[in-house]
Amino acid sequence: MAATIKDIKDLTGLSLATISKYLNGGNLLPENKEKIEQAIAELHYEVNEMARGLVTSKSKVIGVVVFDIANVFTCTLLKYLGERFREAGYAAMICDSQNDAQLEAENVRFLVSKKVDGMIIIPVEQTAGFLEPALRADIPIVLMDRSLEGSGIPCVKVNNRMASYQAMEMLYNYGHRRIAVIGSDRELTGRERLNGCLQLLKDKKTDIPASYLKIGRHSIEHGYNSMQELLELKELPTAVFLGNFEIILGAVMALNESPLQCPSDISLIGFDDLIISNLSNPRLTLVVQPLRDLADNAAGLLLERLQNNKNTSVEIDPDNQKQGDLILPALIVEGSSIARRV
C-alpha cells in the first residue's frame, strides 16, 4: 500500500498542517524540513500531484506548443526547456501543431482544459487569436522564436534580420557580388532573414536577379530543388545564403550530386548550426543561434511570472518597444565554405 501523509505524521511526530505546508512549498524550520525529507525517503512517499492541484490550483505542468516536433531546432529547444522546468519542479506537456494553424488552436484549448500553469508557444499562426482561451483563463504565456505582432505577449528570439544582414555582408566583403538566396517568406523568422539579406544588397547597391531569389518554405525539399535550379543557370551565383537548417541540408545534398565544388565553384553560408557543421566538408560558415540561451530566457521569464503570480517586466529591445520582445544576438562561426573573390 502506498504511503500517506498520515504515515509521515506518525514517523516524524509533526502535525499534518506542518507536513502539508512542506509539500506545498512553504517555509519550515530546517530541522522539521529534514525530518520530513527523511521520512519521505524512508516511506517512498509520492506526492499526488492531482490532489495537490485541487488544493493549490496549481498543476505544476507547463504546456509547450511547437510548430513541428520533428524539426531538429524544435527538439533541441525542447531538451533545454525540459531541463529548466524539471529543475524548477515542473513537468512539460508537449503538443505538436504539425505546421497546422487549426491543430495549433486545438492544442491551446486542450492545454487550457488540462489547467496547465503556463504555456510556451512556438507559433504557426501570425496573429494571437488562437490564444484567446488561454488569455481568458489568465494563463501566463511566453512565445519563442516567432512573435505575434500587436499581441503584447513577450517573445524570446534572436535578431534574425541583423544576423542575416551580417552574413550577407561577410559574403560581400569576401568579394562576392553574384549572391543567391534560398529562403522562406512563410514564417516570421524566414521573412526577417529574407529582409536582412535584401537590405544588405540594397545598401550595397547590388542587384539580385529574379533567378537568384528562391523563396518557398523552410524545408529540405525547397533547399534541394532551389540549389539544383541555381546550378543549372548559365551564369552561376558565386555564393548562396541558405535560410535555415533544412534548407542547408537540401542544398548541400544537391551540390554534392553535382560536379561543382564548395567553395572553389560556389561559396555557402547558412543559418543554424544543428549538427551539420560537423558533417560537411568543407566545414560550413554558419549563423549560430544561442539555443540554450533562448530556452533558458523563455523558461526563466515564464517561471518568474508563475512565481510572482502576475505579469512581470521584460527587457525591451529599443527597436521593438511596443512588442516587448527579448532579442538575443546570433553569432557567425566561420568555417571554410567561403572563397575570396578578387
Secondary structure (H, E, C), 187-256? CHHHHHHHHHHHHHHHHCCCCCCHHHEEEECCCHHHHHHHHHHHHCCCCCCCEEEECCHHHHHHHHHHHH
> Which pLDDT value is given to residue 311?
45
Q: What residues contact residue 173 under an 8 Å CB cut-off, 6+ apart? A: none
CATH architecture of 61-158+291-330: 3-Layer(aba) Sandwich (3.40)
Q: Cα torsion at 284, 285, 287, 293 (round to 10°)? A: 70
pLDDT of residue 174: 97
- pTM of this prediction? 0.78
Please name the amino acid found at residue 40.
Answer: I
Q: Does the pLDDT of residue 320 top 80, yes or no?
A: no
The pLDDT assigned to 117 comes to 95
pLDDT confidence tier of residue 315, bands split at 50, 70 and 90: very low
Q: Are 295 and 326 in contact (CB under 8 A)?
A: no
pLDDT of residue 324 exceeding 80: no
pLDDT reported for residue 57: 56
For the chain, domain boundaries: 5-47, 61-158+291-330, 160-289
Query: Which residue did the predictor score with more confidence, 318 or 262?
Result: 262
CA distance 107 to 119: 11
pLDDT-based confidence at residue 19 (cuts at 50, 70, 90): confident
Q: How sure is the predictor about 106, in pLDDT bands with cuts at 50, 70 and 90?
A: very high
- The answer on pLDDT for 55 being more than 80 is no
Mean pLDDT, range 63-86, rounded to an integer: 94
Per-residue pLDDT, averaged over 184-198, amounts to 93
What fold characterizes domain 160-289? Rossmann fold (3.40.50)
* pLDDT tens digit sequence for 194-225: 999 999 999 999 989 999 999 999 999 999 99
**Same-fold call for 61-158+291-330 versus 160-289:** yes
pLDDT at 48: 62
Residue (of 176, 158, 197) closest to 288 by Cα position: 158
Q: What is the tens place of the pLDDT at every residue in 234-265? A: 999 999 999 999 999 999 999 999 999 999 99
Q: Are the CB atoms for 32 and 18 separated by under 8 Å? A: yes
Q: What is the pLDDT of residue 52?
A: 52
Minimum mean pLDDT range among 94-103, 118-127, 196-205, 274-283: 274-283
